[in-house]
Amino acid sequence: MRTLLVVVIGLGVLMVGGAIVVIGTVLSRLNNPETIPVKPGFGETEISIPAGAELVGVENGDARIVLRLKDNNGPLLILLDPRKGFEKGRVRLREE
């Protein structure tokens, strides 16, 4: 009788622990968009750049692609999402 009680309590602890692991994994993946699988390739997208701007360089990473441009207003960085092809933002560099 006592052995049966220990087995039932042990199985209950295992079930609760397993549920905590599953829920924690789901929440972790929902809060981190980088872990969501994306189909390779995103087709063709258009990124508008200022007229007369010159592409100085490109830096590629897992989380973003950085286009380094130079125009009449100075250096400009355009941040792109390499997984979806969308522009994430722009940074204008100004001298002090």
Domain positions in the chain:
1-37, 42-96
pLDDT of residue 61: 81
pLDDT of residue 27: 87
Local confidence pLDDT in tens for the 96 residues of the chain: 889 999 999 999 999 999 999 999 888 877 776 665 656 666 778 888 888 999 999 998 878 899 999 998 899 999 998 877 789 999 999 887
pLDDT of residue 96: 77
Enumerate residues 6+ apart whose C-beta is below 8 A from 3. none
Tell me whether strands 54-60 and 87-92 are parallel, antiparallel or unpaired.
unpaired
Q: Which residues of 65-93 are buried (b: 16+ CB within 10 A; e: fewer)?
A: bebebbeeeeebbbbbbebeeeeeeeeee
Structure tokens at 6: 């220990």
pLDDT of residue 42: 65
pTM (predicted TM-score): 0.56
pLDDT of residue 84: 78
Whole-number Å distance between alpha carbons of 83 and 11: 43
